[in-house]
Amino acid sequence: MRITRFVPSRSVALVAVLLVVALIATVWLGMQPQAPIAEGASTPAEFNPAPTAAPDATAGPPWRYGRADARFTVVEYADLECPFCRAYFAVLKQWIDAHPEVNWQWHHLPLTTHEPAATANARLVECVGEAGGAAAFWQAVEWVYTHTRGDGQGLPEGLGYPGITPAAQQCLDSDRPDTLIRAQSASAAQEGVKVTPTLRLQDRQSGKTLLLHGPVEGDALLSAIDLLAAGGTAETASKEMPAESLGDMSR
């Protein structure tokens, strides 16, 4: 018995070929990396990219530490020969690290009782910052507080800042840091700030500010920020804490 073989027509064969090509193209496209989703475009519910950390504040002076996009700023009026400022430095830095909604701005206020060492130290950290940027500035502040004898006694005789660069030395040989330090001191005087450390909280969103006196502990600082966020602007006097109590500020 003779079996008749099925021979597809040309049209059927062409359709089959096209289907195979389409299947291959679909598989290939599915293997390609997806184009980035435009900002503001709607995304599926399961799409949850990790947040990108904001860069540290680097512009200066005035020098800032912390996130550049932080809503709140703690402006610290400080003297590099002030024992309370020295004790407060490490704990405030640790607190800022733990509260990314707040950054920290340095404001020079060398006290006359600590001169000439206070201004000499301020000149040093400003010139190190001018030459090396924000990270170098904050490292220089920490170095000064670590090595100064405090209360106007200054750095030990013959001790110089390690690795001083030609650019920093050129700054020290000029009057640029003196102009800046005098301007910041005059600004503090106009604002009625006479002691160190003094803090001025600023709310970038509302433009309101709040003045706090003394090294303010963590819970009190958070309460002041809550008050500022709620619209409070009254000057708040905070009891100064002794230097040995500042270790409790990690809250």
Residue 58's region, left for phi above 0, alpha for psi from -120 to 50, else beta, is alpha
pLDDT digits (tens, 9 = 90+) for 12-54: 444 443 444 444 444 343 444 433 433 433 333 332 333 334 3
Separation of alpha carbons 210 and 166, rounded Å:
40
Question: Helix axis angle, 83-98 relative to 134-147, nearest 10°?
Answer: 140
Contacts (Cβ under 8 Å, ≥6 apart) of 72: 101, 102, 103, 201, 202, 203, 204, 225, 228, 229
Averaged pLDDT of the chain = 79
The residue among 251, 221, 246, 250 whose CA lies nearest residue 236 is: 221
Q: What percent of the chain has pLDDT over 90?
A: 67
User: Any idea which residue has 């590099």 for tokens?
Assistant: 80
Residue 13 CA from chain centroid, whole number:
68
pLDDT class of 57 with cuts at 50, 70, 90: low
pLDDT digits (tens, 9 = 90+) for 100-156: 999 999 999 999 999 999 999 999 999 999 999 999 999 999 999 999 999 999 999
pLDDT digits (tens, 9 = 90+) for 140-153: 999 999 999 999 99
Terminal Cα-to-Cα distance of the chain (whole angstroms):
96
Domains of the chain, with CATH numbers? 64-154+172-248 (3.40.30.10)
pLDDT digits (tens, 9 = 90+) for 157-190: 999 999 899 999 999 999 999 999 999 999 999 9
pLDDT class of 71 with cuts at 50, 70, 90: very high
**Which of the 8 DSSP states describes residue 236?**
B
Q: Decide: helix, strand or coil at residue 54.
A: coil
Radius of gyration of the chain (CA): 31
Q: C-alpha distances in angstroms, 47 versus 39, 71, 104, 233?
A: 13, 27, 34, 41
- Region 49-76 average pLDDT: 76
Separation of alpha carbons 212 and 76, rounded Å:
10
Question: Under a CB-based contact definition with an 8 Å cutoff, are residues 189 and 134 in contact?
Answer: no
